[in-house]
Structure 1
Amino acid sequence: MLLDQRVWMTVLLASCWLTACATPFSMVSSFNSSLPAVNIAARGQTVPVGTPNQDAADDPAIWRNKSMPTASLIIGTDKKAGLYVYDLDGQIKSFNDAGHVNNVDLRDEVMVQGRSSILVVASDRNDLKTAKLALFSLNPTTAKLVELGIVDAGAGEAYGICLYRDAVSLYAFMVLKDGTINQVSLNTRGAVPTGQIVRTMKLATQSEGCVADDATGQLYVAEEDVGLWRFQAAATAATTPIKVAPADGKQIVADAEGVALAHVGNQARYVIVSSQGDNAYAVYRTRDDTLVGRFRITGGIIGSTEETDGIELITGDFGPAYPGGLFIAQDGHNAKGAQNFKLVAWNDIKAALGIAD
């Protein structure tokens, strides 16, 4: 984002805090040429992370309980302290003091030490010179994370992380801060998890958010000042990316941050990217990379989101509050204290944008 925009945003935020306005950054788009965005209200939010007055909350992951959707769980990172597990009411169920973990992803029904488990993987930044993956299993009954071990993921600063599973193997894509992307083959069947880098890709500048689609074998990565890219996720595929959308100040206002997929059945129909520079989210069709529309999470009973880092979306039934799916966005300026995560119904987003399955 341009410096003068940051100055104006700081002035606006200070003014809104003084006047108690509900949407501190609702006027941001007037300072750039970004495309219009529809307003959507959040239906819930998490308890703030434990690190106050800092850029701390970063990235969410969602586990949907298929047999009891209202018992689904949310994992959220406090990149200064560790990992939280929340319920759908946003209440803290447990905390793991994993230290500086940045992004997080999970896969269900993964063989871990001989049993089918919920595998949670976070990008570990405790050593800024060597990227690592911190692996956990999530106990859905106790809502606690069990530490499995640490896997090396290459030289450099760990930043983004997303998982990908094909018919044979499970992989983690480690996005380093300089735009390097290491594809790490994971083995969690033994007493200690292991990993091996099987492919390396490169974007030119700082990158972070990513998501991979198991069904179509596509990997999406956000290069913060450039835009959204797509790679083939297969370990044997070429390493040349295809640009999905530019950070052109219209569709996406830099930084391009979190990335999420909306599935219809087993197929990813839409990809969403956080347009951090104007506090919006851009939605694209995966079949042709066309822009469907943009939305903002605006003030209301819950409050708005600003400068969002990580996002996540899982479609399907989550109970009466989120019947069509759950979208979660990190909130960079939570008015009530430390940063937290806002919860939005996917049905509300679809209705606002005119999306039909």
Structure 2
Amino acid sequence: MKGRNITQYGPGALLPAILLSACATTSASKAYLPAVDVPAMAETVPVGTANDDAADDPAIWRNAADPGASLIVGTDKKAGLYVYGLDGKVRDFVAAGALNNVGLREVTMADGSRRILVAASDRTDRAVPRIALFMLGGASGKLSSLGAVTFLPPGHAPAEAYGFCMGGPLRAGELARAYVVLKDGTVAEGALVEQGGSVAAMHLRDVKLATQSEGCVVDDAARTLYVAEEDIGIWKVPLDRETLGAEAFARVRDEDGLVDDVEGLAVARGADGKGWLVASSQGDNAYALFDLQTARLAGRFRIRGGAIDGTSDTDGIEIALGDFGPAFPEGLFAAQDGDNAPDAQNFKLLSWHAIRTALGLD
């Protein structure tokens, strides 16, 4: 942990004001920390909402039987949800309102069938946080809506469902765990369960960060949730404990490779168990990669070079390891591009092998 003191914050606890000021990054520190260039291998068709901040967050489904037929789900936070093939072409679009962050999981239903459950934070009503639910057809690439469920913690004031991520089930009878990050820094955890042939969400517990937060990701292997507090840094939340508590993981400062805002988070776990956490360092258009075993910064990269334009102002990111075909032999990294001018925003696709090689990772 680079010698940092680890402080835990339980439900309802806020960071001390002195820590907020100490962690703030000044404009002078945004001196473009060293980062290697990695080119995109492909890009998606732009989202339909033009001239606006619209594309936001991707999720990846790997087709183990036919890796080249894998799918990417991405949000247009002004309009709904897209499904793309690895060639970047649109396979489906569902007009579903203001869906911000998206996640997906393969789940086992009560009848024993395996389904692809897709869920997204629904900001259509800024006072009532909801989770929009879908099933994704792996062969068809089509989404079928299961509706939306309200997800406001008991006693919480009206709030906006901002960030979202999913994790594997932690108890019998669950399909998955869902984590909704409200804009005030509250992270609400719930269980997604099958109910009457559909999917319902049951609120379980919360953890509170002090300021605006959004990006989150679950490391299933370590049963740990990571959350990005935009101007402060990254927190880790062990999920095996009865009460959720946040521990400092990386801060907005040069030695941790992060420039505010800290946005999307993604975890890569190899077959050997080695894990990496990648964060969108939006303030300098880069991506910081951390070794999950040591919590040390392992390197930084930017998406640029090659025939496809690079990225800037990235919100959501995602990684999935494994064979995705010749262009992505070891894994796929997807990142939202906040400036795809003259076209609308879209998602850039990179080879994990290219990233790993550029950073000299084992």
Give the TM-score taking structure 1 as reference length: 0.88
Matched, 1:185 2:183: no
1:164 is matched with which residue: 149, 164, 167?
167
Q: Is the 8 A contact 1:61 1:75 kept in 2?
A: yes
Matched residues in 1 for 2:143 and 2:87: separation?
Answer: 19
Matched residues in 2 for 1:249 and 1:56: separation?
Answer: 29
Task: State the Cα deviation string for residues 16-37 of structure 1 (Å, max 9, x = none).
Answer: xxxxxxxxxxxxx998234200
Quick one: structure 1 residues 30 and 201, their matched pair in 2 at CA, closer, same or farther if it must change by over 3 Å?
closer
- CA deviation after TM superposition for structure 1 residue 114, in Å: 6.5
Matched residues in 2 for 1:259 and 1:136: separation?
Answer: 22
- CA deviation after TM superposition for structure 1 residue 299, in Å: 3.4
Matched, 1:153 2:151: yes
- CA deviation after TM superposition for structure 1 residue 39, in Å: 0.5
- CA deviation after TM superposition for structure 1 residue 249, in Å: 4.8
- CA deviation after TM superposition for structure 1 residue 215, in Å: 1.7
Matched residues in 2 for 1:265 and 1:47: separation?
Answer: 32
Amino acid at match of 1:247: V
Q: Is the 8 A contact 2:30 2:283 kept in 1?
A: no
User: Which position in structure 2 is the counterpart of 1:342?
Assistant: 348
Amino acid at match of 2:46: P
Task: State the Cα deviation string for residues 303-327 of structure 1 (Å, max 9, x = none).
Answer: 1000000000000000000001000
Matched, 1:174 2:177: no
User: Which position in structure 1 is the counterpart of 2:95?
Assistant: 97
Q: How does 1:33-72 map to 2 (within 5 A)?
A: 33-72=31-70
Task: State the Cα deviation string for residues 165-221 of structure 1 (Å, max 9, x = none).
Answer: 135332100011111000011112432322111101011000001000122101000
- CA deviation after TM superposition for structure 1 residue 268, in Å: 5.5
1:214 is matched with which residue: 214, 220, 244?
220
Matched, 1:200 2:203: no
Task: State the Cα deviation string for residues 254-290 of structure 1 (Å, max 9, x = none).
Answer: 0000000011127361100000000000000111210
Q: How does 1:1-357 map to 2 (within 5 A)?
A: 32-111=30-109, 115-154=113-152, 155-165=158-168, 166=170, 168=172, 169=174, 170-234=176-240, 236-249=241-254, 251-265=257-271, 267=273, 269-356=275-362
- CA deviation after TM superposition for structure 1 residue 130, in Å: 1.0
Q: Percent identity?
A: 50
Quick one: structure 1 residues 228 and 191, their matched pair in 2 at CA, closer, same or farther if it must change by over 3 Å?
same
Matched residues in 2 for 1:354 and 1:114: separation?
Answer: 42
Quick one: structure 1 residues 249 and 130, their matched pair in 2 at CA, closer, same or farther if it must change by over 3 Å?
farther
Matched residues in 2 for 1:126 and 1:279: separation?
Answer: 28
Matched residues in 2 for 1:297 and 1:252: separation?
Answer: 16
**Alignment size in residue pairs:** 327
* SS of equivalent residue, structure 1 residue 150: strand
Q: Is the 8 A contact 1:113 1:191 kept in 2?
A: no
Matched residues in 2 for 1:205 and 1:294: separation?
Answer: 25
Q: Is the 8 A contact 2:184 2:213 kept in 1?
A: yes
* SS of equivalent residue, structure 2 residue 197: coil
Quick one: structure 1 residues 112 and 65, their matched pair in 2 at CA, closer, same or farther if it must change by over 3 Å?
farther
Structure 1 gaps, min length 5: 1-28
Structure 2 gaps, min length 5: 1-26, 153-157
* SS of equivalent residue, structure 1 residue 160: strand
Q: Is the 8 A contact 1:58 1:77 kept in 2?
A: yes
* SS of equivalent residue, structure 2 residue 357: helix
* SS of equivalent residue, structure 1 residue 349: helix
* SS of equivalent residue, structure 2 residue 354: helix
Q: Is the 8 A contact 1:110 1:119 kept in 2?
A: no
Q: Is the 8 A contact 1:111 1:189 kept in 2?
A: no
